[in-house]
Structure 1
Amino acid sequence: MYHSVGDCSDDPYRITVTPGRLDAQLAWLRRRGLRGVSLGELLAARARGEGRDLVGLTFDDGYADFAEHALPVLRRRGCGATLFVLPGRLGGVNDWDPLGPRKPLLTADGIRRAAAEGVEIGSHGLTHVDLTRADDATLRAEVARSRELLTELTGTPVAGFCYPYGTVDRRAADAVRDAGYAYGCAIDPGPLTGPYALPRVHVGQRDTAVRLLLKTRLHRLRRRAAEGI
């Protein structure tokens, strides 16, 4: 689970990695015989009983620096990824974060460019709200309407959803399933773990080879496996 790729000198939420650090982390994967791919590719491979050499790479929020900094590194390392974006904030900024610098978000053209490069585009909701606290109308808009807008924007049905803040409950997971998504990403969903509440591991600037190795091992211990995946 990545977010922003760029300058991390002012990064109170630790959501940013530099391009050099991202490159080193993907190189570490490749040295271990692993390749980063989109969640869609990973899940399709697992459904065939394959994909043990694949790692799903996700980038949340749809920061504009994805096109400038992340895409070239992904190309260089032969990796794919899923980019979760906010169609209700195209060309806006991350003003849901009370602290830290304002980071620009991708425009519609930026999202189309990423899709043209083979990046899987998924929804992060319309505006980045905690769905576990949303009323019914807001929940429908954030989940179903965001999928409609992104399908129109990219010309491709949107399969993946990512819960803002990683928070999910049964009501939110059911809304994602009912809206036609194939999967949903959380962080540590506990008993809800499954295709509509996939656990992920945060990766940040401090994650060197040793920390990455520890995180992969601790992930297996701390988070239950998603059955059938």
Structure 2
Amino acid sequence: MYHSVDDCSHDPYRVTVSPRRLDRQLGWLRRRGLRGVGVRELLAARAQGKGQDLVGLTFDDGYADFVTHALPLLHRHGCGATLFVLPGRLGGDNAWDPSGPRKPLLSAEGIRHAAAEGVEIGSHGLTHLDLTRADDALLRAEVRDSRALLHDLTGAHVHGFCYPYGKVDRRVVDAVREAGYSYACATDPDDLACSLALPRVHVGEQDRAWRLRLKLRLRRRPVEGV
């Protein structure tokens, strides 16, 4: 689970990894015979009993630096990824992080460019709300309308959803299922872990080889339906 790829000298929420660090992390994966891919590709391989050499890479929020910094590094290492974006904030910034630096988000053109380069585009909701606190009407709009907008924007079906802040409960999972998503990513959903609440490992600037090795070992656990 990545977010921004940029200068991380001021990063109070730990959402940024430097391009140099990402380059080294992707290289670490490749030297161990692993390849980063989008989540949909990973799940399809697992469904066929394959994919032991694949690692799902996700980038949340749709920061503009994905295209300028992350995408060239993914190509360099022969990796794919899933980019979870906010169609209700196209060309805006991360206003939900009040204490952090303002980071520009991708425009519609930037998202289409990433999709054309082979990146899987998924929804992160419309505006980055805690969906567990949204009323039923707002929850449906954030989940359903964002999928429709991204389909219109890219011309492709949107299979994946990512819960803002990683917060999820049964009601939110049901809304995601009813909206037609085939999978969804959380952070650490505990007893909810399934194809609509996939757990992920946060990766940041401090994650060098030994920390990556430890995280990979600790988080290898079965997920229902995957």
For residues 54 and 127 of structure 2, the distance between their equivalents in structure 1, rounded to whole angstroms, comes to 31
Q: Distance in 1 between matches of 2:174 and 2:56?
A: 23
- The 1-side partners of 2:225 and 2:48 are apart by 11
Decide whether the 8 Å contact of 1:84 with 1:124 is kept in 2: yes
In the TM superposition, residue 100 of structure 1 has moved relative to its aligned partner by: 1.1
CA deviations 1:152-191 (Å, max 9, x no partner) are 0000010000000001000000100110001000011011
Q: Once the 2 structures are TM-superposed, how far is the Cα of residue 129 of structure 1 from its aligned partner?
A: 0.2
What SS does the corresponding residue of 1:161 show, helix, strand or coil? strand
Residue 225 of structure 2 is matched in structure 1 by 228
Matched residue SS, 1:184:
strand
Paired with 1:30 and 1:217, the residues of 2 have a C-alpha distance of 17
For 2:219, what is the secondary structure of its paired residue?
helix
Q: Tell me what 1:31 maps to.
A: 31
Q: Secondary structure at the match of 1:148?
A: helix
Letter in 2 for 1:2: Y
One-letter amino acid of the counterpart of residue 224, structure 2: E
Query: Following the alignment from structure 1 to structure 2, what is the Cα–Cα distance between the partners of residues 46 and 81?
Result: 16
**2:64 partner letter:** A
Matches within 5 A, 1:106-185: 106-185=106-185
Instruction: Please name the residue that 1:47 is paired with.
Output: 47
User: 2:163 is matched by which residue type in structure 1?
Assistant: Y
Partner Cα separation in structure 2 for residue 215 and residue 195 of structure 1: 21
SS in 2 for 1:10: coil
Q: How far 1:115 moved relative to its partner?
A: 0.1
- Give the equivalent residue in structure 1 for 2:4: 4
Three-state SS of the structure 1 residue aligned to 2:202 is coil
Gaps of 5+ in 1: none
In structure 2, what is the equivalent of residue 95 of structure 1? Answer: 95
Moved over 4 A (4+): none
Report deviation, 1:227.
Answer: 2.0
Counterpart-to-counterpart distance in 1, 2:101 and 2:174: 34
Q: How far apart are residue 195 of structure 1 and its match?
A: 0.5
Q: Give the Å deviation of 1:217.
A: 1.4
Q: Distance in 2 between matches of 1:211 and 1:62?
A: 26
TM-score, scaled relative to structure 1: 0.98
Percent identity, please.
75
For residues 192 and 28 of structure 2, the distance between their equivalents in structure 1, rounded to whole angstroms, comes to 31
Match of 1:209 in 2: 209
Deviation at 1:225, TM superposition (A): 2.1
| Number of the residue aligned with 2:16 | 16
Contact 1:193 1:225 in 2 (8 A): no
SS at match of 1:84: strand
Aligned CA RMSD, in angstroms, stands at 0.6
The aligned counterpart of 1:200 is 200
Instruction: Give the Cα separation in 2 of the matches to 1:71 and 1:54.
Output: 18
Equivalent-residue separation in structure 2 for 1:67 and 1:98 (angstroms): 24
SS at match of 2:21: helix
SS of the residue 1:121 aligns to: strand
Matched residue of 1:83: which SS? strand
